[in-house]
Amino acid sequence: MPELPEVETVRRGLQPVMEGKRIGRAEVRRPDLRWPFPENMAERLTGQRILSLRRRSKYILADLSSNETLLVHLGMSGRMLIDDAPTANFNANSALPGKHDHVVFHMQDGATITFNDARRFGAMDLIPTDRLDAHWLLEKLGPEPLGNAFDEPYLKKKLSGRNSPIKTALLDQRVVSGLGNIYVCEVLHRTGISPKRKAAKISGARVASMVPAIRAVLSEAIDAGGSSLRDHRQTNGELGYFQHRFAVYDREGEDCCKEGCDGRICRIVQSGRSSFYCPTCQR
């Protein structure tokens, strides 16, 4: 599932062709994805200007001139692809909608944005903008890891007393939003912390070290266009490239890349998810 860097990469790709622009016609080609689409979604979107295009955690949020906000979740395989956008540097591809092209935004200036989702685990919803924070998908989310509310005192407080492994704690979206399996593995390797260590047992100094590491790993991944393992594509159809810089994720059995470490990357399963780490330098 796309994590924060992949979703932010998609948002940035969409921004030049959607933000401030009007939806000439919205086309909804099926009744549902993971859940049913909101009632009359095509009619409610058609003719609306997109005032701003934001991201909250792993969700893209398009604030509309109708005082509603379109929430988009990419799910496992969702892609937002831009076709024939003369105002942006994307390759034109005028193919007819395909089998998995479920929602199409025909922008008034001629651009077309298609939501393609082969596995149909994605979702869209329309919410009154002034009630967005109370939406069931957003109301319990923790702070953005790249925002000012996420800092060392906050993280120390949230991890204090938690008996769960630090890997599990950082994946809890109520602690910090947007982090997923890939980037937590990378952060823990960068800070030398074992994913098995209990969150409450980590020293204050080591907890503090995770805050800049989280910011750095996410920022580097965004700059690289995210990580493409199976389905992620940028809005121009290109792959992300951060997977070529993984230190531990999906590198089971390979040598640790940390200078001076002679360990090998191991894989364990925690809460049904694979954790990759170096038992030699991560304690």
Q: What are 29-86's pLDDT values in tens digits?
A: 999 999 999 999 999 999 999 999 999 999 999 999 999 999 999 998 889 999 864 4
Task: Lay out the sheet containing 101-107: strands in order across.
Answer: 23-28, 101-107, 112-116, 79-83
Same domain, 12 and 85: yes
Q: Tell me: the pLDDT tens digits for 201-227?
A: 999 999 999 999 999 999 999 988 888
Rounded CA-CA distance 141/51 in Å is: 24
Same domain, 226 and 267: yes
Same domain, 185 and 234: yes
Give a yes or no: residue 8 inside a domain: yes
Catalytic residue from among 29, 156, 267, 273: 273
Give a yes or no: residue 142 inside a domain: no
Same domain, 114 and 227: no
Catalytic residue from among 3, 6, 8, 186: 3
Q: What CATH number has the domain bearing residue 185?
A: 1.10.8.50
Domain boundary among 107, 134, 161: 134
Catalytic residue from among 11, 21, 55, 58: 58
Give a yes or no: residue 283 inside a domain: no
Same domain, 182 and 215: yes
Q: Output DSSP code: residue 140.
A: T
User: Any catalytic annotation for residue 190?
Assistant: no
What local confidence, expressed as pLDDT, does residue 2 receive? 83
Give a yes or no: residue 164 inside a domain: yes
Cα-based distances in Å from 158 to 40, 140, 199, 229, 282 = 41, 14, 9, 31, 22
Domain housing 174: 152-277
Give a yes or no: residue 111 inside a domain: yes
Q: What CATH number has the domain bearing residue 104?
A: 3.20.190.10
Same domain, 160 and 99: no
Rounded CA-CA distance 216/45 in Å is: 37
Same domain, 125 and 193: no
Same domain, 262 and 166: yes
Give a yes or no: residue 105 inside a domain: yes
Domain boundary among 105, 134, 163: 134
Higher local confidence (pLDDT), 13 or 236? 13
Same domain, 163 and 109: no
Is residue 88 scored above 80 in pLDDT?
no
Catalytic residue from among 2, 5, 143, 145: 2
What local confidence, expressed as pLDDT, does residue 231 receive? 52
Tally of CB atoms within 10 A around 102: 24
Domain count, the chain: 2
| Percent of the chain topping pLDDT 70 | 90
Same domain, 26 and 124: yes
Is residue 93 scored above 50 in pLDDT?
no
Is residue 94 scored above 60 in pLDDT?
no
Give a yes or no: residue 229 inside a domain: yes
Is residue 232 scored above 60 in pLDDT?
no
Domain boundary among 108, 134, 160: 134
User: Any catalytic annotation for residue 258?
Assistant: no
Q: What is the mean pLDDT of residues 270-279?
A: 95
Same domain, 34 and 127: yes
User: Any catalytic annotation for residue 30?
Assistant: no
User: Any catalytic annotation for residue 3?
Assistant: yes
What local confidence, expressed as pLDDT, does residue 235 receive? 59
Q: How long, in residues, is the chain?
A: 283
What local confidence, expressed as pLDDT, does residue 242 receive? 77
Confidence class for position 87, pLDDT limits 50, 70, 90: very low
Give a yes or no: residue 141 inside a domain: no
Rounded CA-CA distance 248/277 in Å is: 6
Rounded CA-CA distance 172/153 in Å is: 18
Same domain, 42 and 84: yes
What local confidence, expressed as pLDDT, does residue 90 receive? 33
Q: For the chain, what is the mean pLDDT?
A: 91
Nearby residues of 216 by Cβ (< 8 Å), 6 or more positions away: 190
Tell me which H or E stretch contains 9. helix 4-18
Q: What is the mean pLDDT of residues 133-143?
A: 97
